[in-house]
Amino acid sequence: MQLTSKRLILRPTSKNDKAAIFKYRSDGETNRYQGWIPETPDDIDLFFSRLSPEPNQPGSWFQMVVTVKTNNEVIGDVGMHFSEDLQQVEIGCTLHKMHHKKGYATEALSEVLDYLFNKLNKHRVFASVHPENISSINLLKRLGFRKEAHFVESFYANGKWDDDVIFAILKREWNAIL
């Protein structure tokens, strides 16, 4: 399974991407709102072991790397968690900080949303973000997500309880934007 946009190709992660993924995922400052930050390249193996090799499997995460069309550079990843009943999907996106503010995340997630709604016929896609993760919140709003909830100290990460904000978009809302 591969997704292609104007500037990017998204493809399933492979063991060969370990070094590239470690490079941006281990950046603790950029990823301070993420629940998982690898300390060694071997931590990426644990991450791989929890992923499904195929998308659209009940209760599983599927991860794609985001690559630049012109040089195949791996610049980030997009995760999709398929619900047990396969009707809903949680998504997440992480890019290397060198590739922020170029519109790449918006471009990648637009392809992912189109795939989830119009190829796999999902009903709802949502994302969970830290309320201070402004870049992510702006990204979700730019794509048409609505804020649905703000849970107080509901998420335990990096030794403390954090708030958790939920943004979501329905298939009919996505297709109304197009």
Ligand X SMILES: CC(C)(COP(=O)(O)OP(=O)(O)OC[C@H]1O[C@@H](n2cnc3c(N)ncnc32)[C@H](O)[C@@H]1OP(=O)(O)O)[C@@H](O)C(=O)NCCC(=O)NCCS
- Asked whether 55 and 1 are in contact (CB, 8 A), the reply is yes
Distance of closest approach, residue 84 Cβ to ligand X, in angstroms: 21
Give the rounded distance of the alpha carbon of 33 from its chain centre: 13
Give the residue with the Cβ less far from ligand X, 142 or 172. Answer: 142
Give the residue with the Cβ less far from ligand X, 104 or 174. Answer: 104
CA distance 33 to 124: 23
Distance of closest approach, residue 14 Cβ to ligand X, in angstroms: 21
Give the residue with the Cβ less far from ligand X, 121 or 161. Answer: 161
Angle, CA of 2, 113 and 57, to the nearest 5°: 65
- Asked whether 82 and 114 are in contact (CB, 8 A), the reply is no
Give the residue with the Cβ less far from ligand X, 114 or 121. Answer: 114
Residue among 19, 14, 7, 133 at smallest CA distance from 63: 14
Q: 110-146 burial, b for 16+ CB within 10 Å, e for fewer?
A: bbbbebbbeeeebebbbbbbbeeeeebbebbeebbbe
Give the residue with the Cβ less far from ligand X, 33 or 155. Answer: 33
Distance of closest approach, residue 37 Cβ to ligand X, in angstroms: 10
> Which residue minimizes CB distance to ligand X?
103
Distance of closest approach, residue 53 Cβ to ligand X, in angstroms: 22
Distance of closest approach, residue 25 Cβ to ligand X, in angstroms: 9
Question: Could you list the residues that contact ligand X (CB under 6 A)?
Answer: 30-31, 33-34, 92-95, 100-106, 127, 129, 133, 135-136, 138-139
